Amino acid sequence: MALWPPAASVLLCGSLRNASEKAREARRSPEIQPHY
Protein backbone atom coordinates (compact mmCIF):
# COMPACT_ATOMS: atom_id res chain seq x y z
CA MET A 1 0.00 0.00 0.00
CA ALA A 2 2.82 2.41 0.79
CA LEU A 3 4.09 1.99 -2.77
CA TRP A 4 0.85 3.20 -4.30
CA PRO A 5 0.81 6.66 -5.93
CA PRO A 6 -0.64 9.33 -3.61
CA ALA A 7 -3.43 10.09 -6.09
CA ALA A 8 -4.56 6.46 -6.16
CA SER A 9 -4.48 6.24 -2.37
CA VAL A 10 -6.50 9.43 -1.96
CA LEU A 11 -9.03 8.30 -4.56
CA LEU A 12 -9.41 4.86 -2.98
CA CYS A 13 -9.71 6.27 0.54
CA GLY A 14 -12.26 8.82 -0.68
CA SER A 15 -14.41 6.20 -2.40
CA LEU A 16 -14.30 3.87 0.61
CA ARG A 17 -15.18 6.68 3.00
CA ASN A 18 -17.99 7.85 0.71
CA ALA A 19 -19.42 4.32 0.55
CA SER A 20 -19.27 3.94 4.33
CA GLU A 21 -20.88 7.34 4.81
CA LYS A 22 -23.76 6.47 2.48
CA ALA A 23 -24.21 3.08 4.12
CA ARG A 24 -24.31 4.65 7.58
CA GLU A 25 -26.78 7.33 6.41
CA ALA A 26 -29.05 4.72 4.82
CA ARG A 27 -28.90 2.56 7.95
CA ARG A 28 -29.63 5.49 10.26
CA SER A 29 -32.53 7.01 8.32
CA PRO A 30 -33.82 4.77 5.48
CA GLU A 31 -37.01 6.81 5.04
CA ILE A 32 -35.11 10.06 4.40
CA GLN A 33 -33.47 10.38 0.98
CA PRO A 34 -30.35 12.58 0.81
CA HIS A 35 -30.54 15.52 -1.59
CA TYR A 36 -27.33 15.09 -3.55
pTM: 0.44
Per-residue model confidence (pLDDT) at position 8: 74
d(CA 34, CA 11): 22
d(CA 34, CA 25): 8
d(CA 10, CA 15): 9
pLDDT digits (tens, 9 = 90+) for 1-36: 556 577 777 777 788 888 888 888 878 766 666 655
Per-residue model confidence (pLDDT) at position 34: 61
Per-residue model confidence (pLDDT) at position 31: 65
Per-residue model confidence (pLDDT) at position 29: 66
Instruction: Write the CA distances from 12 to 8, 9, 20, 26, 28, integer angstroms.
Output: 6, 5, 12, 21, 24
